[in-house]
Amino acid sequence: MRILLYTGKGGVGKTTVAAATGMLLASRGLKTLVMSVDAAHSLFDAFDLDLKLTDMNRGNPLPVAPNLWIQEVDVTEEIQRHWPDISGYVTALLAVTGVEEVLAEELAIFPGMEEVSALLYVNRYAREKAFDVLILDCAPTGESLRFISIPPTLDWYMKKLYRLQRSILKVARPVAQTVTNLPLPTDRTFENIEALAGKLEGVDALLKDPRTTTVRLVTNPEKIVFRETQRAFMYFGLYGFTVDAVIINRILPEDVNDPFFDQWRKTQEKFLEEAKRYFDPVPIWTLPLQPDQVVGRPGLDELGRLLYGESDPVSSYRSQAPYRFQKRGSAYTLTMDLPFVEKDEIDLAVAGADLIVRIGNFRHHVPLPRTLSGYSPSRARAERGSLTVQFEPARGAVAGGVE
């Protein structure tokens, strides 16, 4: 099963593009599910469906066209269905932070629940090979990043803390309970966590394998939206996700000649050019602003054809994340693909939270992940089309030249 993840800043057109992609793939004979991972669902609206949902179909995939299903994960429904797993997980997480257990259960619909529920579906559909393509209509960037960070976090918890906690409590529960008022995870909680972890097992690898999953960043050709896209691009790389296309939506059509739009056109051209430079070699796909909002199947159909033409939305257009951060001992290394560059052309500097890579007159800002605040670049090396920068915990050492 191929997984396509569409994300970007709020309102850029993620749901519309995800829905249009679904329409196109289904029309080409692929069994396709578009699933909304955003708590503020708008997938039904994009298809212009005014459905009276029943208990039977709420939260489940609904057929909307031949080969095409859509699903808005219903978190209340999910909690009932997966209650033992999820409530146990939440209770334990909140218990660790010291929230009373009763309150923790009341707080069961907390941020992150949609994401966990959606991940359970992703893994299940992949295991069951239920669809040829799963399209994820994601929440705006920040939440999407939380979504993709859940499996590694849970994995970390299971590896590092779970066994330790469980074995300590097994021996020391009576003692522990006399010295703290905090609720301690029960055996049942541990069983729930383990069951949940089991159901999510493998999803991280699935999402990080560019042959299965690639991310498409939807953006608009404007400064503020564009800057967020750059950061998203880097952060997805940081989490090991492969962005294989950037979709620039709402470009003014050529035949709009009203002078009112002159400056808009210049701004858009500037950001289009910048996008090609910045994201290279990731392909840039463009979509014109339509004469009206794009709602309902005919409009989505048209948009899908405009976006992809004859090309195949299912291909992986990149097989390797362009930036790779790796931890080696106490140091981090950043590896960037920089084809066609000679090492003595590269100059490095750090400004605020960015690493600035200068090549000739061209300056490349690489926003650094928060994990690296307090780190300084200590060494940089360029070879065979890639730049590797090493970061050490010490402050002060700022790289200048490149070996």
Ligand X SMILES: Nc1ncnc2c1ncn2[C@@H]1O[C@H](COP(=O)(O)OP(=O)(O)OP(=O)(O)O)[C@@H](O)[C@H]1O
Interaction site with ligand X (CB under 6 A)? 10-16, 38, 42, 140, 249-250, 287, 289-290, 293-295
Are the beta carbons of 346 and 366 closer than 8 angstroms?
Answer: no
- Smaller CB distance to ligand X: residue 225 or 382? 225
Question: Which member of 14, 82, 216, 365 binds Mg ion (CB under 5 A)?
Answer: 14
Shortest spacing between CB 348 and ligand X, in angstroms: 35
219 binds Mg ion (CB under 5 A): no
- Smaller CB distance to Mg ion: residue 72 or 78? 72
Residue the block writes with tokens 């021996």 = 171
Shortest spacing between CB 50 and Mg ion, in angstroms: 18
Q: Residue 94 binds which one of Mg ion, ligand X, none, with CB within 5 to 8 A depending on kind?
A: none
Are the beta carbons of 66 and 73 closer than 8 angstroms?
Answer: no
Shortest spacing between CB 293 and ligand X, in angstroms: 4
How many angstroms separate the CA atoms of 244 and 320, rounded?
9
User: What single string gives the DSSP state of each residue in 349-374?
Assistant: EEETTEEEEEETTEEEEEEPPGGGTT
Q: Token digits for 265?
A: 């056109």
216 binds Mg ion (CB under 5 A): no
Q: Token digits for 316?
A: 């992986």
Candidates 6-14, 75-83, 245-253, 346-354; binding stretch for Mg ion (CB under 5 A):
6-14
Instruction: Report the Cα–Cα distance between both ends of the chain, in Å, rounded.
Output: 43
- Count of residues touching Mg ion (by CB under 5 A): 3
230 binds Mg ion (CB under 5 A): no
365 binds Mg ion (CB under 5 A): no
CA 340 from centre of chain: 29
Q: Residue 229 binds which one of ligand X, Mg ion, none, with CB within 5 to 8 A depending on kind?
A: none
- Smaller CB distance to ligand X: residue 11 or 298? 11
Report 34-63 residues binding Mg ion (CB under 5 A): 42
Shortest spacing between CB 136 and ligand X, in angstroms: 12
* CA proximity to 57, closest of 30, 81, 32, 77: 77
- Smaller CB distance to ligand X: residue 10 or 152? 10
Amino acid at 237: G
Shortest spacing between CB 41 and Mg ion, in angstroms: 8
220 binds Mg ion (CB under 5 A): no
Shortest spacing between CB 1 and Mg ion, in angstroms: 22
Are the beta carbons of 378 and 399 closer than 8 angstroms?
Answer: yes
Shortest spacing between CB 11 and ligand X, in angstroms: 4
How many angstroms separate the CA atoms of 318 and 387, rounded?
18
Burial of 378 (0-12, 13-18, 19+ CB in 10 A): middle
Q: Which residues, 6 or more positions from 90, have their beta carbon under 8 angstroms from its beta carbon? A: 104, 105, 107, 108, 110, 113
Shortest spacing between CB 199 and Mg ion, in angstroms: 26
Question: Which member of 3, 5, 7, 15 binds Mg ion (CB under 5 A)?
Answer: 15
Q: Residue 12 binds which one of Mg ion, ligand X, none, with CB within 5 to 8 A depending on kind?
A: ligand X
CA 291 from centre of chain: 30
> What would you measure as the largest C-alpha separation in the chain, in angstroms?
78
- Smaller CB distance to ligand X: residue 47 or 162? 47
Return the bridge partners of 367, or none. 354
Q: Residue 293 binds which one of ligand X, Mg ion, none, with CB within 5 to 8 A depending on kind?
A: ligand X
